[in-house]
Amino acid sequence: MEETTGKQKTGEGQAAPRPKRKYYPRRPRAAKPAAQAGGEAQAPAENKPAQGQKPPREAKKPQAAPAGETAKKQPARAPRQAKAQQAPAARGGRGGRAKAASPAAAAAAAAAASAAEPRAAKAPRQPRRGKNAPPVRIIPLGGLGEVGKNMTLYECKGDMFLVDCGSMFPDSEMFGVDLVIPDFSYLQAHKDQLHGLVITHGHEDHIGALPYFLRQFNVPVYATRLTCGLIRNKLEEYGLAASTKLVEILPGQEIAFGCMKVRAIRVNHSIPDAVAYAIDTPAGVIIQTGDFKIDFTPVTDEMIDLATFTEYGRRGVLALLADSTNSERPGFSRSERSVGQSFMNLFARAEGKRIIIATFASNLQRIQQIIDMAVKYDRKVAISGRSMVNNTTMAFELGYLHAPENIIVDIESIHRYRPEELVIVTTGSQGEPMSALSRMSGGSHRNVRVGQGDFIIISATPIPGNEKMVTKVVNSLLRLGAEVIYESMYDVHTSGHAYQEEQKLMLSMVKPKFFIPVHGEYKHLKKHSQTAAGVGIPEKNIVIADIGDVIALTPDKVGIVDTVPSGRVLVDGLGVGDVGSVVLRDRRHLSQDGLIISVAAIDAGTGKLVSGPDIVSRGFVYMKEAEGLIAEAKDVTRKVIERAEARGGRRNLEELRGAVRDQLSTLLYRNTKRSPMILPIIQEV
């Protein structure tokens, strides 16, 4: 149990008396939840700040959770403790000046957090863990050896819960596929043991598969306030919002899943309200960072909770699962606030022109900086793109975005303003064919016509695989006469993932006994494991796993002991999983060499050719320019049917179709050195 909470359990339904509060008024207490299936749910403790800290902002306080959903919340607001320890130059509130932290400043801040009074950010007291403690099984169902569809299963003594439920974009070989999601078959086989799902943050690679998951599993979903808002928007599109138990949590809050307890810890990322999770198990504490960076000057979010990570490290952490995305990049990532300085320079440079900025719809810190620059330079802001409109509308409602009255204008009304009075924030930073920026580049956007008076900023780095699409959009915009700024030209983007020095800081704070790199391709996992070895973790204590591997953890050892069914499930339209390797192979074949269809009708009694054969070509040859080849193909089909008729006896249509296919394949390859898909259609009449 936690030593610093205002409530300590003395028996079923009883609580010890609280110490008097000297400086702050009592906040309303949530109703005491009932016991939760599979484990005991604890009521949130009162959010009493540690002495010397400010009370938490009311804007970020969620509604009281229903009974049986959440457990107690850590009273000490560690991010504010850490913030108080920063040098004044590194703080920088909204609208204030701040510089991105240097490596030296970062190390100093981490050291300050490590030296902080333990009671300021105390992790819960861990129970005694003997050598006979039951093993914890960690099963990654996505996110390893790939970028996307993150999902990790934790299992102990028959209790299970999940961290994240993401999707990923299909690669260029997955013709016609809309989305890729994890394989849920192992979860289906253990459906009764699954207690719930916790989400680290609101990016698609962590929440994108939720609609498909929740159609099969009726379990509660726990997430922070902004993440809940993004999930709710998504579930409403699929008609699942009313039937889903979506529970809002705060950093520091604890959730019980049977014999395991999960506590959220604030981290920085390219979206607000991101959290890591500390998982208290019979074998020891496991920390999964989720996507993180260490940003000492965030724009709208609070700083990563270094004090709590350090306190967990002081008490002892069994294993760390950490974000490996930028493990190949040395040094520290730039602060999100540094992008604001770039925007200031570019806004000054774009005097007299209309500014169009494309960025990720979820990057609310960047959108806030764009709004701040628009206010500074006396411009109105218009929003374009469905996801951008949905996300910004929700963020304004929840208080994550702020703008003076009358600054935001409808995209339909931009014709009322001169170009130099406007900033348009749009989707399409990845060159997506149907995005707002792509439609602008193609001249098909209903409200925006790009021309020589436009100054366009693409504030994002292309996701691997999207480079060609982004280049195509940039070229089209340049042809229309616009000036285009993108990341390789100017510092208009910074990563939301930790670089090597930040990864080292995390390892040094947490001091895990075992290390499991996650979230990245194999090269990222490998490099992260080398970084961990460089800060003193023995190589025998580092595990590089793959999706479907069962990682068993005890207080003394770690290893891969088994595998479970896993892989990729492809979503094509309304079909989920009905597109497999055979269908993809056929689609690939069609895309490369095209299709030939041979159509004929034979007499059901004699086998004599009644009509045809006719040849249809699609994507193979232009029939009017290959009349000789088409005539040969008809002749080959006719001869195969006539030989079958001459042999007499019972005709097998499948054998006849196979013979036509083989003969046509030989003819077409001999003449073209290509192998189209051949579809013989022979019917009896």
67-99 pLDDT tens trace: 344 444 444 444 434 443 343 333 333 334 344
- Looking at residue 2, what is its pLDDT? 38
- Looking at residue 20, what is its pLDDT? 42
SS (HEC) of 75-104: CCCHHHHHHHHCCHHHHCCCCCCCCCCCHH
Residue (of 449, 461, 488, 492) closest to 346 by Cα position: 492
CA distance 70 to 89: 38
Cβ 554 vs Cβ 283: under 8 Å: yes
Query: Both ends of the chain: CA-CA distance in Å?
Result: 80
Residue (of 494, 380, 383, 491) closest to 428 by Cα position: 383
Cβ–Cβ contacts within 10 Å for residue 21, how many?
13
Residue (of 363, 289, 266) closest to 56 by Cα position: 266
Q: Does 269 qualify as catalytic in the annotation?
A: no
Question: In CATH, what class is 336-486?
Answer: alpha beta
Tokens found for residue 58: 């009311």
Known binding residue 493? Answer is yes
640: CB partners within 8 A, 6+ apart: 656, 659, 660, 663
Tokens found for residue 340: 């604001």
Model confidence, pTM: 0.72
The arrangement of strands across the sheet holding 609-618 comes to 609-618, 595-602, 677-684
- Looking at residue 428, what is its pLDDT? 93
Residue 5 CA, chain-centre distance (Å), reads 33
CA distance 339 to 359: 12
SS (HEC) of 105-158: HHHHHHHHHHCCCHHHHCCCCCCCCCCCCCCEEEEEEECECECCCCEEEEEECC
Residue 21 has, within 13 A of its CA and on its CB side, a CA count of 16
Domain boundaries, the chain: 336-486, 594-684
CA distance 60 to 280: 26
Cβ–Cβ contacts within 10 Å for residue 539, how many?
10
Q: Which residues of the chain have pLDDT under 70?
A: 1-131, 171-177, 572-592, 622-623, 648-651
Cβ 285 vs Cβ 318: under 8 Å: yes
Cβ 355 vs Cβ 408: under 8 Å: no
Residue (of 196, 371, 392) closest to 277 by Cα position: 196
87: CB partners within 8 A, 6+ apart: 105, 108
Which among 323, 454, 549, 593 is annotated as catalytic?
Answer: 323
Q: Does 497 qualify as catalytic in the annotation?
A: yes
Tokens found for residue 185: 């078959």
Fold of 594-684: Ubiquitin-like (UB roll) (3.10.20)
Residue (of 116, 152, 123, 117) closest to 137 by Cα position: 152
CA distance 309 to 317: 10
Known binding residue 497? Answer is yes
Task: State whether residue 276 is helix, strand or coil.
Answer: strand
CA distance 379 to 408: 9
Which among 497, 519, 524, 528 is annotated as catalytic?
Answer: 497
CA distance 531 to 543: 13
Identify the residue whose tokens are 């849920």.
Answer: 184
515: CB partners within 8 A, 6+ apart: 319, 320, 322, 507, 529, 532, 537, 541, 542, 543
CA angle centred on 170, ends 470 and 526, rounded to 5°: 90
Cβ 358 vs Cβ 460: under 8 Å: yes
- The DSSP call for residue 353 is S
Residue 131 has, within 13 A of its CA and on its CB side, a CA count of 1
Identify the residue whose tokens are 């049986």.
Answer: 68
CA distance 571 to 577: 6
Determine whether 60 is exposed, middle or buried from the number of CB atoms within 10 Å of its CB (0-12, 13-18, 19+).
Answer: middle
